[in-house]
Amino acid sequence: MTQGSRPRGLRSGTIPQLVYQADPLGQTVRRLGKKWTLLILRDMAFLKLTRFTEFLHNNPGLTPRVLSRRLKEMQKEQLVARVGDGKAVTYALTPRGQDAVYILLAFLRYGLKHHRDAARLVPTG
């Protein structure tokens, strides 16, 4: 290849896919970064919520349809387990879901440091 020439098949402005772009961080962001996922994990880990209606009531704007879909995806990702005892269905963090709590703690630490004013806006009681 001569100086200034492009590898065959590349158009101007196209950057080849690099190995690091398929890294574990990218995969984690794709899975945990879906809307509502981290908030559901937060509810389970810190607030000890386990029931479908509890998740709905604690997250204004979350609809039953979206919550149902998200919980199914989280089960498929092995973040949560659906537990039914015949009377009621609850959800529990799996070991993989418990590992994700460390990510939540990092977000919490960052938020407390850099978004402290937003924490004061949350109504109490």
Q: pTM to 2 decimals?
A: 0.71
Q: Give the model's confidence band at 27: pLDDT under 50 very low, under 70 low, under 90 confident, else very high.
A: confident
Q: For the chain, list the strands marked E by DSSP.
A: 80-84, 89-93
Please choose, from the candidates 87, 115, 102, 123, the residue with its C-alpha nearest in 3D space to the C-alpha of residue 32: 102
Domains of the chain, start order: 24-120 (1.10.10.10)
Nearest to 104 by CA among 44, 54, 64: 44
Q: How many residues does the chain have?
A: 125
35-91 pLDDT, tens per residue?
899 999 999 999 999 999 999 999 999 999 999 999 999 999 999 999 988 789 999
